Structure 1
Amino acid sequence: MNDSDRHRLITEMLQERPFASVRDLQERLGVSPATIRRDIDKLDEIGVARKVYGGISANETSASGRLSARPYDENRDIAVDAKRAIAEKAASLVRDGDSIIVHAGSTCYQLGLQLARRNVRLYTNSMPLAAYLGEHGTCSLILAGGVLYREPGIIHDASAGAPDFFASRFFLGTQGISGEGLLESHPLLTKAIGELSSCADEIVLLADSRKLSIQPRNVVLPLSRIGTIVTDDGLSDAGAKMLEDAGITIMIATVGGQ
């Protein structure tokens, strides 16, 4: 398979999904990681797609308007190093004795692992995180009530409204970020995030830099609601300016070589 064939196949993959990891491309194309990275560099150089941490992303114009949700068990294996670094950085914001909300999602799950044995009161609607903390944690754990939605892995009561719990910080992830705000394609997440956002002094967004190139259809929260974002060192200058112009404090987690 020559360069042109690989580039065509990568472009076709990005028409079906907003992001492909180096591992995804290796499995699809049967070539080495070094070859995949050269292909990514070339497609980024000619403007066909965008190089991001851990792989390649569709351009915003081609990604907008497309459902870009991935199953939780698939998403948790993408950009794992970045998510762990972001979670470790975010954990530094939590003090002993704090009451916090940790939303569902793979990056927030990593934060929960960091806080599992800390002296905190932790409210979560994440079934995977609750299961881990129930078995391995010592923190005070408060669970959302309601029905288990296995995809996207949250517990939610559609008729209950916001929970009777108040936190110093609400930590959440997002499927995508634009100038309009945080974006999701799953309507249940849109509702759950809206309810929980009223239950904390500050909203802290945990999002690796890929998220600025993914554009789902539903605006969940405007950027003006976000106090702090913890992201990785792949954040572009344009992305940083957009966030700073919205008044968001940016914390950068340093990740090892890509």
Structure 2
Amino acid sequence: MTQVKPAHKRILLKLSGEALMGDDQFGINRATIERMVAEIVEVSKIGVQVAVVIGGGNIFRGVAGGSAGMDRATADYMGMLATVMNALALADAMDKQGLTARVMSAIAIEQVVEPYVRPKALQYLEEGKVVVFAAGTGNPFFTTDTAAALRGAEIGAEVVLKATKVDGVYTDDPAKNPNATRYEQLAFDEAIGRNLGIMDATAFALCRDQKLPIRVFSIIKPGALLRVVMGENEGTLVHA
């Protein structure tokens, strides 16, 4: 029997910190992170090279009250440290499920994680390891969406997969409007014109300029990540 090959060999998975919370108000829900990792293990086993950029909103949310009135750059650095915490938790869960992960940080914390070095990241991917990029771009005023677009372009990812709690991009908020319909595909210019808020403007412009497609899908739906990498019509594809 001929084995069906995945549609994508190398992907950049963008996980929000909030996706790790499950039903909790902040922090990391262990059952949720283990389920997500199981999906990553599944696609890695069929030969897909996986890199991950993770946000820190779930950790930072717990200290957000204390950051009110804080200098923006200082708050952003705190958020970067939150992404490092999430990356370590994600890598630990991967290791426990038999998948080798390497955390690479855009800010230097060498006692804890490796610094980001592009050739080393590419080597890890070729070896079948999952690379988790932490600390965003290493600069304040840039989101982890921008980090996902940047790292995706740097490592030659074929697609940026933005994992959310909603199974794609809709004409309206489906939680509030039951008549909202899901876009199957969108051109970058159309998405910008409709102000759909898929990613922040910097990230979106970078993906458009590099002709790096974005697929928005639900990380909550069982098997959705596998369906995406196999090229099935899952979520919404945004392309040049």
Fold shared, TM-score > 0.5 on shorter chain:
no
Compare relative contact order (CA 8 Å, sep 6+) and give the higher one, 1 or 2: 2
Return the TM-score normalized by structure 1.
Answer: 0.33
Normalised TM-score (structure 2): 0.35
Q: 1 or 2, which has the higher strand percentage?
A: 1
| Max Rg structure | 1
